[in-house]
Amino acid sequence: MSRLNFSDRRLCLIVVAGSANIDLVARVAHQLQPGETLLADDYAMHQGGKGGNQAVAAARLGAPVRFLGAVGNDAFGAQILADLQHEGIDTSAMVQFPGNSGLALITVDAAGENEIVVVPGAYGKLAGAVDESAFVDARVVLTQLEVPPVFVNAVLAAGRRNNAAEVILNAAPATSLKAFDMDAVDWLLVNTGEAALLAGGQESEDRQQVESQARDLGVRYAVNVIVTLGADGALWVDREGSSGHVPGHARDVVDTTGAGDTFAGAFACARAQGQAVDGAIRMAVSAASLAVGKAGARAGMPTRAELQAAVDG
């Protein structure tokens, strides 16, 4: 990968819209079985939410980011806002609702794999009206499915109306896409489990089968598709039928919680800078591989300098 260049900040503006919450993370020997009670080794509190995570991932790589979402008027809400602002993210378009902010309850096992229960709180109240001015000059718009569909569709439509170069939908957590305006989407980003669910097949570790599912989704929704493959990197299929695969990097895994969000934020950042698809996915795979090395969704998300050092090394 060539050295990263983020000098033109206006043209690189990314709007990320979605969830932001507090993560309560417990470390366990293995994941729970039905009816089982586990004693955790320890727990920690982190900032989280797929939207907030993806915004932070992009911001740490040097892109200017504006975040759209919601917090409650509780202590968690104040922490969420302060952390986003500390990362240099524009939170002026966020809204506040009476009541609780979002919360995620996460268990991480000895292999670094996680299970997550999400309580949406304030961002579950987001509706179909968005601040149109927040999308002015946005080169890339990125959103996910932890927020209500009516809000997702408002974001997709605003991105298209304001001539964003690319609109990215990270279809996570996986659900039917019938409720969403897929005509406004350029890139559909999913992992292997989400790809299988959306394509109506079985999750597979066979790359050819995963690519077949990606092609099916691309044709069905007339979008470009990226499927993240965990340690095997990522593959993509574009609207013209071209495809490719970027292999992963061997890393010691501590916590996979933020890897997918790091990939999404890094890909958005690279595309906002005008990188070609192959280079953008290479950057995203490299960033995600660094993210698994520390506990917590955001702790391992690299800065631009850290990512460049890893790439050069």
Bridge partners of 16, per DSSP, are 67, 142
41 in catalytic set? no
The answer, yes or no, to whether residue 305 has pLDDT greater than 70, is yes
How confident is the model at residue 188, as a pLDDT?
98
Assign domain 14-31+41-312 one CATH number from 3.40.50.720, 3.40.640.10, 3.40.50.170, 3.40.1190.20.
3.40.1190.20
Residue 295 has pLDDT above 80, yes or no: no
Compute the distance between CA of residue 97 and CA of residue 123 in angstroms, rounded to an integer.
9
For 102, the token pair is 């979002």
Is the pLDDT reported for residue 156 higher than 90? yes
pLDDT tens per residue across span 226-263:
999 998 999 999 999 899 999 988 777 887 778 999 99
pLDDT confidence bin for 161, thresholds 50/70/90: very high
When the pLDDT of each residue in the chain is averaged and rounded to a whole number, the result is: 92
Rounded Cα–Cα distance for residues 102 and 300 (Å):
22
In a 13 Å sphere around the CA of 58, the CA atoms on its Cβ side amount to 35
Q: What is the pLDDT of residue 113?
A: 84
Kindly state the average pLDDT of the residues 137-157.
97
pLDDT above 60 for 8: no
Per-residue confidence (pLDDT) for residue 4, from 0 to 100: 53
Which percentage of the chain shows pLDDT scores above 70?
96
Kind and range of the H or E run holding 23: strand 21-27
Please give the residue that has the higher pLDDT: either 293 or 75. 75
pLDDT tens, residue by residue, 9-18: 444 899 999 9
Measured at the CA of 311, the angle between CA 171 and CA 256, to 5 degrees, comes to 40
Closest by alpha carbon to 75, among 107, 106, 116, 121?
A: 121
Distance CA 50, CA 194 (A): 15
According to the 3-state scheme, what is the secondary structure of 72-91? Answer: ECCHHHHHHHHHHHHCCCEC
- The active-site residue, picked from 83, 90, 255, 261, is 261
Over residues 16-25, the mean pLDDT reads 94
Domain boundaries, the chain: 14-31+41-312
User: Residues 6 or more apart from 40 whose CB is under 8 A from it?
Assistant: 26, 27, 28, 107
Q: What does the pLDDT read at residue 6?
A: 46
H or E stretch at 142: strand 140-144
pLDDT, tens only, 183-228: 999 999 999 999 999 999 999 889 999 999 999 999 999 999 999 9
pLDDT for the residue 261: 96
Band of pLDDT at residue 296, cut at 50, 70 and 90: confident
Distance in angstroms (rounded) separating the CA atoms of residues 188 and 121 = 26
Confidence (pTM): 0.90
pLDDT at 309: 87
* SS3 of 47-67: EECHHHHHHHHHHHCCCCEEE
Return d(Cα 288, Cα 260) in angstroms, integer. Answer: 7
List the end-to-end C-alpha distance of the chain, in Å, as a whole number.
11
Q: How many residues are there in the chain? A: 313
| Token digits of residue 130 | 């968005």
219, 260 contact by CB (below 8 A):
no
Q: How confident is the model at residue 41 (pLDDT cuts 50, 70, 90)?
A: confident
The yes-or-no verdict on residue 7 having pLDDT over 50 is: no
Residue 265 token pair: 């934020």
What average pLDDT score do residues 110-120 get?
A: 87
Backbone angles phi and psi of 209, in degrees to 5:
-65, -40
- What pLDDT score does 181 carry? 97
- Whose CA is closest to 166, among 268, 53, 64, 57? 268
| 283-299: average pLDDT | 88
pLDDT at 313: 60
